[in-house]
């Protein structure tokens, strides 16, 4: 497997995480961190994670000091993360905020609760791509396990291909599209379109993504809070 480097900085690098690769080594398969270290020939520090079924932009630090600074940015919610997801179900709402505590359920799954002790928070809006297919643009404000997958299921729109929370397909259609942050007073925005999946390669999706990249369709309340 050859990993794609998206951005390189003296203190960190961003790669494209493909689907089907875990962050840690398991069952004889190398995790993404070790694969990246072997390919790029340097020691890397993990500062955030993506689910095995999720593709997209992933940051690694190149030394311990950068790892501490970037980890702090993530923990302080100072790094803006934007995800793309597809669903074949119509949501209860076209846009809004999903907020609630998450609790472990059966067989490694999670569920969203009505309580607000330490809630997962996800802002989203959605757009129709074609009949029976909807695009969700999500910004998680917190970093809980399976957060977006559980949040969209709670809206009645489980992610296409999510075998844990939705219906099977060729992949789980959740992609970490963009991250934006300030590091040592310099602004960075790193973005990567999804590469894998027949539905992500449909012209209707590609056209909609281009319109998003050009600034169309973004709700006013999101545009006011770009940082």
List Cβ<8 Å contacts ≥24 apart for 103-109.
108/164, 109/146, 109/164, 109/165
> Is 8 annotated in the active site?
no
β-pair type (186-191, 133-140): unpaired
Of these residues, 8, 11, 51, 101, which one is catalytic? 51
Residue 182 pairs with which residues in a beta bridge?
187
The beta strands (E) that lie in 101-183 are given as 102-104, 110-112, 120-130, 133-140, 174-183
Residue 43 tokens, joined: 């020691």
Burial of 191-221, coded b for 16+ CB within 10 Å and e otherwise, reads: bbbbeebebbeeeebeebbeebeeeeeeeee
Burial class (CB in 10 A: 0-12, 13-18, 19+), 41: exposed
Enzyme catalytic residues: 51
């Amino acid at each position: 497997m050859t990993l794609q480097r998206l951005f390189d900085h003296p203190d960190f690098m961003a790669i494209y995480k493909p689907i089907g690769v875990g962050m840690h080594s398991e069952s004889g398969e190398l995790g993404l961190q070790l694969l990246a270290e072997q390919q790029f020939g340097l020691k890397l520090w993990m500062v955030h994670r993506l689910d095995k079924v999720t593709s997209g932009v992933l940051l690694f630090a190149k030394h311990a000091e950068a790892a501490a600074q970037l980890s702090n940015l993530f923990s302080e919610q100072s790094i803006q993360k934007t995800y793309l997801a597809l669903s074949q179900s119509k949501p209860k709402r076209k846009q809004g905020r999903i907020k609630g505590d998450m609790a472990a359920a059966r067989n490694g799954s999670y569920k969203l609760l009505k309580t607000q002790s330490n809630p997962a928070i996800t802002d989203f809006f959605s757009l129709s791509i074609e009949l029976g297919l909807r695009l969700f643009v999500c910004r998680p404000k917190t970093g809980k396990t399976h957060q977006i997958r559980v949040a969209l299921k709670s809206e009645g729109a489980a992610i296409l291909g999510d075998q844990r929370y939705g219906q099977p397909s060729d992949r789980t259609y959740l992609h970490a599209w963009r991250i934006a942050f300030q590091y040592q007073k310099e602004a960075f925005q790193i973005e990567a379109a999804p590469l894998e999946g027949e539905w992500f390669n449909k012209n209707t999706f590609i056209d909609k993504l281009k319109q998003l990249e050009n600034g169309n369709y973004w709700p006013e309340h999101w545009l006011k809070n770009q940082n």
